Amino acid sequence: MPETPTTAESQPAQASQPAPADQPAPPAKPVPFHTRHKRALLITLAVCVVVAVVAALLFKTQALAVLHWTAQFLSDIVDAVRRAGPVPYFAAYAILPAFGVPISLFNLTVAPTFAPTLHLGWVIVLSALCMAFNLSFSYWLARYALRPLVEKLVKRLGYTLPVIPRDEHVTASVLLRVVPGAPYAVQSFILGLAKVRFPTYIVVSFIAQFGYALAMILLGKSFTQGGSFKIAIIAIVLIVVLVIVARLVGKYYTKKVALKKANAASAGSPQSNA
């Protein structure tokens, strides 16, 4: 009597069978606009620069008059703010950026306004304290004051607020702060709503933000009568260094996230579980 082939011998391995020919290919990842039209954007930028230079040369007198009027207007504003005193200014510096007022507006104007009376060192110290308070205030608003209201609204729409795992708090904070995209206030609210731990939030946020603030303060100081070309160069070099460091850090953490996702996908695949 012939032997009956075993099940393993009678059935070919499913893993070796090729995929069906009619299986749709995965959708291609869309190419960003600036990548697809990089050459056209560079040409457009160059044309705009040439047009601006030619216009400035043709209308030199009018351009100088506009610049003089703008400088005088800004000088009058600075004098008015200085007469009001440092308390209202620094109180606004500490609170208003949490509600969407650009913090760069304060960083650029604080030195021209108060460095002549408070000296640059104290201006930098007070600016650092204002930024630390503003970061803390923004976190409190997002994490405790507004989160219940936002959570109810999101649930009514059928969604839930995301919560970042504890082991990803540093990565999420660094990427959100160093990768260009969301404004300053929005970054703070996202991290607060996602329940990022406060120590991680405040340390990463302050380190990532105050470097640019210091550069803006020095740049603003260089525009005053007591400023110098040397201070302007230091500010510009600092900005360049910060941009390079931010790009390197952003690439490092982006690769780290991609590697973690790849490892998680390979660990959860059927072949790894076999």
Please give the average per-residue pLDDT across 56-81, as a whole number: 75
pTM here is: 0.68
What is the C-alpha separation between 173 and 169, in angstroms, rounded?
6
Where does the pLDDT of residue 36 fall: very low under 50, low under 70, confident under 90, or very high at 90 and above?
Answer: low
What is the C-alpha separation between 257 and 216, in angstroms, rounded?
31
Please give the average per-residue pLDDT across 258-266, as a whole number: 75
Where does the pLDDT of residue 24 fall: very low under 50, low under 70, confident under 90, or very high at 90 and above?
Answer: low
Give the pLDDT of residue 12: 47
Of 84-93, 174-183, 202-211, 212-221, the least confident: 174-183
What is the C-alpha separation between 111 and 17, in angstroms, rounded?
71
What is the C-alpha separation between 130 and 114, in angstroms, rounded?
15
Strand, coil or helix: 26: coil
Whether 178 shows a pLDDT value over 70: the answer reads yes
Give the pLDDT of residue 226: 55
Where does the pLDDT of residue 231 fall: very low under 50, low under 70, confident under 90, or very high at 90 and above?
Answer: confident
**H or E stretch including 209?**
helix 198-222
Where does the pLDDT of residue 20 fall: very low under 50, low under 70, confident under 90, or very high at 90 and above?
Answer: low
| Interior angle at CA 27, CA 23 and CA 32, nearest 5 | 165
Give percent above pLDDT 70 in the chain.
80
What is the C-alpha separation between 126 and 249, in angstroms, rounded?
28
